[in-house]
A and B are shown apart, each in its own frame.
Chain A
Amino acid sequence: MPSWLMAEPRPVPFRGGGFAPRPRRWVGWAVFAALIALAEIGTRTGFISALTLPRPSDVLLTFGELYRSGLLWKHLLPSLSRLAVGALIGASAGIGIGILIGLFSLIRAGLVPLVAAIFPIPKIALLPLFVIWFGIDEGSKYALIAFGTFTPTVVSTFGAVDNVDRTLIRMGQSFGLSWLSIVRKIVLPGALPGILSGLRVSLAIAIILLVAAEMLGAEYGVGAYILEAGSLYDLERLFAGVTILSLLGLGVSAVIGVAERWLLRWRH
């Protein structure tokens, strides 16, 4: 008698599943809340000394004060305009040049090594140069942010253009579409997902450079505010400033998310 006739039948063990990220909306907020609660409890009980970490409720109070005194807008508005102008210049130049690199072999051969050479330069090191070229005022800050946004945008844009499905381009040619139509209706929409995800990285870099630029010479701005708080060892204000930056980052990311949902609605 074969052994399987006598054995008890068992269910086949399950070993699939997993490796499929699913949205869990509240988890992110819960992590934030837990960390803040931990800091609050720690500082109140004295487990964490006031020198190590400010009390979150005090940071909130400082923030409220900043808002009431009107200083918040005085610092935030110049920062936002610097970010907007600098990132707009850098990202549009980056997308433009990236598309040209993707389309023309000559431009690719000429510019890709150049971009590779300037990508690893910490742009902040060039600030003195930018001050001489563009002036101590807004000009040098715009230039720094634009330059820092430009390089990652170029790289992600020409990568996105390279990844456009060639069979779609051949299809366009086989139907006698003009060169311009192929670029406008096939290459650009095909590259858009890659360009947008590249912008996420570029704009985060823009925020970092914004703060760096403001730390090196600005009366008002979130960076100046943080620098001042830091040199006075005023941790509550320092953290209030850092919180503003985080919110700025979340805001930028949300804007790109909305743009993606609208521009790439054919995807989902």
Chain B
Amino acid sequence: MELRLEHVSHRYGATEVLRDVSLTVPEGRILCVVGPSGCGKSTLLRLMGGLERPDAGAILQTGDPPEGCLNPLTFVFQDFALLPWRSVAGNVSLVLEDRPLGRRARQAIIADVLERTRLGDFARAWPRQLSGGMKQRVAIARALAVRPAVMLLDEPLSALDAQTRELLMEDLVALWSREPFTAVYVTHNLAEAVRLGHAIAVMSRRPGRLREMIEIDRPLEAREVGDVELEARQRELWLLMREEARAADAELVDG
């Protein structure tokens, strides 16, 4: 399934957040969206996932979601959004309970996704007992459980420390290599963008417009920390964004 945005504009009251954004999320690839803070990249993601309606333009899905897909457009949130009153398994179970699945099938899916995210031993733990990285892995397991056609990741690693972020990036690459998924990955971290993105959409500051689309051909598995080519791409991205970021930083929040 492909996701396509056509001339999408959006405003909150008097503030114009997005102006005429058109882009395509190709199947089986990860599209990273980067931009200075307040450029509307999270809004863009919420629009794609149907949590908000655009003021103008259209968001279209073409093609059918894959077989067995329960929730085509699935979010992974920055603050994890786990229910503290449910165990790890319970949090995954939550998103399967409204679906026409037998108890058996549900248990099998839960066991499978927890195993894929290396959480099998923690099925009965409460969220408060988990580290930040583990919490986000639970959220990723929950997203995988509904077999999404497109994963919408909203700064998924921003609440984590640098080492945990590195580990989780490796996890994401491993998950994608095992079974390629389509994803939109919003981040302000350029290192994450060049590690995980097949394509990188660079947004301008508010009102957010699509400034440039950068393709990185090197396969995800072949990208490593300290890779010279990636560092060069990251530098290129930074030069592209630098002035925008400086200007965005000098703006009042509700301008």
Interface residues of A (CB under 8 A from B): 167-168, 170-178, 181, 185-186, 189-190, 264, 266-267
What A residues does B79 contact at CB under 8 A? 167
Known contacts A185-B83, A189-B83, A189-B85: A177-B75 contact under CB 8 Å: no
Main secondary structure of the interface of A (DSSP, over half): helix
Main secondary structure of the interface of B (DSSP, over half): loop
Instruction: Bits for B63-83, please: 1 = Cβ < 8 Å to A, else 0.
Output: 000000011011101010101
What B residues does A172 contact at CB under 8 A? 94
Known contacts A167-B79, A170-B51: A175-B84 contact under CB 8 Å: no
Judging by beta carbons under 8 Å apart, are A171 and B85 in contact? no
Judging by beta carbons under 8 Å apart, are B97 and A167 in contact? no
Judging by beta carbons under 8 Å apart, are B81 and A185 in contact? no
* B218 contacts the other chain (CB 8 A): no
CA distance A176 to B94 in the complex (A): 11
Known: A171-B81, A174-B51, A266-B128. 9 other contacts (CB 8 A): A167-B77, A171-B77, A174-B74, A177-B95, A181-B97, A185-B83, A186-B83, A189-B85, A266-B86
What B residues does A266 contact at CB under 8 A? 84-86, 126, 128
Taking a contact as CB atoms closer than 8 A, the residue among B81, B94, B98 that contacts A167 in the complex is B81
CB A243 to nearest CB in B, in angstroms, measures 39
Known contacts A175-B95, A177-B98: A267-B84 contact under CB 8 Å: yes
CA distance A177 to B71 in the complex (A): 10
* B28 contacts the other chain (CB 8 A): no
Instruction: Bits for B34-76, please: 1 = Cβ < 8 Å to A, else 0.
Output: 0000000000000001010000000000000000001101110
What B residues does A175 contact at CB under 8 A? 71, 74-75, 94-95, 142, 146
In the complex, the number of residue pairs spanning A and B with C-beta atoms less than 8 Å apart equals 48
Taking a contact as CB atoms closer than 8 A, the residue among A171, A181, A186, A189 that contacts B75 in the complex is A171
CB A225 to nearest CB in B, in angstroms, measures 43
Judging by beta carbons under 8 Å apart, are A168 and B81 in contact? yes
CB B67 to nearest CB in A, in angstroms, measures 18
CA distance A248 to B77 in the complex (A): 47
Taking a contact as CB atoms closer than 8 A, the residue among B49, B70, B83, B97 that contacts A174 in the complex is B49
CA distance A170 to B51 in the complex (A): 8
CA distance A178 to B128 in the complex (A): 26
CA distance A9 to B126 in the complex (A): 48
Judging by beta carbons under 8 Å apart, are B83 and A168 in contact? yes
CA distance A4 to B19 in the complex (A): 61
Task: Name which residue of chain A comes closest to B78, CB basis.
Answer: A167
Known contacts A171-B75, A266-B126, A266-B128: A176-B81 contact under CB 8 Å: no
Task: Name which residue of chain B comes closest to A169, CB basis.
Answer: B81
CB A265 to nearest CB in B, in angstroms, measures 9
In the assembled complex, 26 residue pairs joining A and B whose CB atoms fall closer than 8 Å, in A order, are A167-B77, A167-B81, A168-B81, A168-B83, A170-B51, A170-B81, A171-B81, A173-B51, A174-B49, A174-B51, A174-B73, A174-B74, A175-B74, A175-B75, A175-B94, A177-B94, A177-B95, A177-B98, A181-B97, A185-B83, A190-B85, A266-B84, A266-B85, A266-B86, A266-B126, A267-B128
CA distance A267 to B11 in the complex (A): 39
